[in-house]
A and B are shown apart, each in its own frame.
Chain A
């Protein structure tokens, strides 16, 4: 491993930040990451969320990989959890991930084109 000095800078900057990221607070994004999800393209979707959240410095949003959500034929599946509300998105690609961030997480409006009801009733 090289350039560990850069890592120390990142650590110092993170320690200066007053905001504490608590898992229970804010919005959680879960990405299904079992065999079905991975082969349908879940990894670049998760990557997209992480990159956008970092580059745009979006607060109070955590992204977590999870196991099989149970609807393998309509993977990649992404779930957005806000308090007691759970929204399940299906067939998510990088473009849909971008829309979920812009329209749902930041805009407060569910992206209706990809909610699970479109695929399963």
Chain B
């Protein structure tokens, strides 16, 4: 997987399998500290201590169709390749959260890629989960919250394709504008 957003999509599928209703994705880019932090938390059914100790092992999976589970182990590897740190915590019935701190300027740190595609694919899942996405770039922050969108939509489903396209554009433009605003601030 050559985009961080693909890893995020993959990790969030675990949240959906854990019957989460809300997934929070927080990305924080701090150039001065040279960190690129990705935090994903859900309110799914969580894991017990034994399962938690096994999830980073590629030969552990809860699925029945095959014997390897690569999602978390691939994300962990991508993070550690940049000299970063990876941690996962979980509590049964409360939820699970993953935190990966990448080195921002490391040559192996993959680009984020099309995060808007990742988020819309997640919203189109039949489980109907909600997503809160917060992206900070130095001092500027963009956020997207599907609960606010649903409130405006009323009885129109969020999976309406024109709504999906609107969401994609909103995220794309939002992320571009925080980068631009940050540059303006620096040049001032």
Contacts and interface: CB of A to CB of B under 8 A. Distances in A.
Interface of A: 1-4, 6-8, 10-11, 13-15, 21, 33-35, 38-39, 43-44, 46-47, 50-51, 53-54, 62-65, 67-68, 70, 72
Given A7-B149, A10-B163, A14-B163, A39 B170 contact: no
A14 B13 contact: no
Nearest to A23: B126
Given A10-B163, A38-B9, A50-B164, A33 B174 contact: no
Nearest to A12: B156
Of the four ranges (under 10, 10 to 19, 20 to 34, 35 or more), the interface on chain B belongs to 35 or more
Given A38-B1, A38-B6, A68-B63, A15 B155 contact: yes
Contacts, number: 102
Give the interface SS of chain B, mostly helix, strand, loop or mixed.
helix
B152 A4 contact: yes
A57 to B, nearest CB: 9
B156 A1 contact: no
B66 interface: yes
> Which of B74, B117, B118, B121 has the most C-beta atoms of chain A within 10 angstroms of its own C-beta?
B121
A19 B149 CA distance: 22
Given A35-B70, A54-B161, A65 B121 contact: yes
B13 A10 contact: no
B174 A2 contact: yes
A4 B33 CA distance: 34
Interface in B121-169: 121-122, 124-126, 143-145, 148-149, 152-157, 159-166
A8 to B, nearest CB: 6
Contact of B65 (A3, A8, A70): A70
B125 A43 contact: no
Contacts of B121: 33, 43, 46-47, 65
B144 A13 contact: no
Given A11-B154, A43-B121, A50-B164, A67 B126 contact: no
